[in-house]
């Protein structure tokens, strides 16, 4: 069986690491790579869309990053217990007309013993912003370690 450390049950350090690894993965905007963090039978709710299984997750992410351009994400640990982690996040992106957004949300995650996510429940709100109001200016890809996190930015 494939594993994706750190593995549950989580402690503070392993939960923080799991969150950062998820953030790093999503900032690649590579649907195939990101989908590998989820179990073959994963179940998702993302806004009002549901995905069942890794193949549907990959298809969802492909659609997402085709529409959400120049996507940059920050996640922050909110709480954890056993095999579950709760995070809050914000990401910035623009559509094909050039309108920028900051999307805020919360996710609840559950992992199997191999560290693959089996459940993801996400609630997200989009706020139109001016390009001048953007806060995420790092080059596309992994957020630099010295870039402020959500709490540092007041989000």
Specify the pLDDT at position 1. 72
The 10s digit of each residue's pLDDT in 17-48 is 999 999 999 999 999 999 999 999 999 999 99
8 assigned to some structural domain: no
Q: What is the CATH number of the domain that holds 50?
A: 3.10.450.50
What is the DSSP secondary structure assignment for residue 131, as one 8-state letter? G
Gap between the Cα atoms of 143 and 130, Å rounded? 21
Gap between the Cα atoms of 126 and 101, Å rounded? 6
5 assigned to some structural domain: no
Number of H helices and E strands in the chain, helices first, is 4, 6
> What does pTM read for this prediction?
0.97
Residue 64: HSE in the Cβ half-sphere, 13 Å Cα cutoff: 25
112 lies in which domain range? 14-139
Specify the pLDDT at position 28. 98
66 assigned to some structural domain: yes
The 10s digit of each residue's pLDDT in 74-99 is 999 999 999 999 999 999 999 999 99
115 assigned to some structural domain: yes
84 assigned to some structural domain: yes
Confidence of residue 73 (pLDDT cuts 50, 70, 90): very high
The 10s digit of each residue's pLDDT in 99-139 is 999 999 999 999 999 999 999 999 999 999 999 999 999 99
| Total domain count, the chain | 1
85 assigned to some structural domain: yes
113 assigned to some structural domain: yes
152 assigned to some structural domain: no
């Amino acid at each position: 069986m494939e594993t994706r450390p750190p593995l549950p049950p989580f402690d503070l350090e392993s939960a923080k690491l799991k969150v950062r690894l998820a953030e790093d993965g999503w900032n690649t905007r590579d649907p195939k790579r990101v989908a590998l963090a989820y179990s073959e039978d994963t179940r998702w709710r993302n806004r009002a869309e549901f995905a069942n299984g890794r193949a549907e997750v990959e298809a969802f992410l492909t659609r997402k990053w085709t529409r959400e351009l120049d996507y940059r994400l920050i996640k922050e640990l909110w709480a954890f217990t056993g095999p579950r982690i709760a995070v809050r996040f914000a990401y910035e992106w623009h559509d094909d007309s050039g309108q920028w957004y900051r999307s805020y949300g919360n996710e609840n995650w559950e992992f199997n013993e191999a560290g693959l996510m089996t459940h993801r429940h996400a609630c997200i709100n989009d706020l139109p912003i001016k390009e001048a109001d953007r806060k995420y200016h790092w080059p596309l890809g992994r957020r630099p370690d010295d870039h402020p996190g959500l709490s540092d930015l007041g989000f």
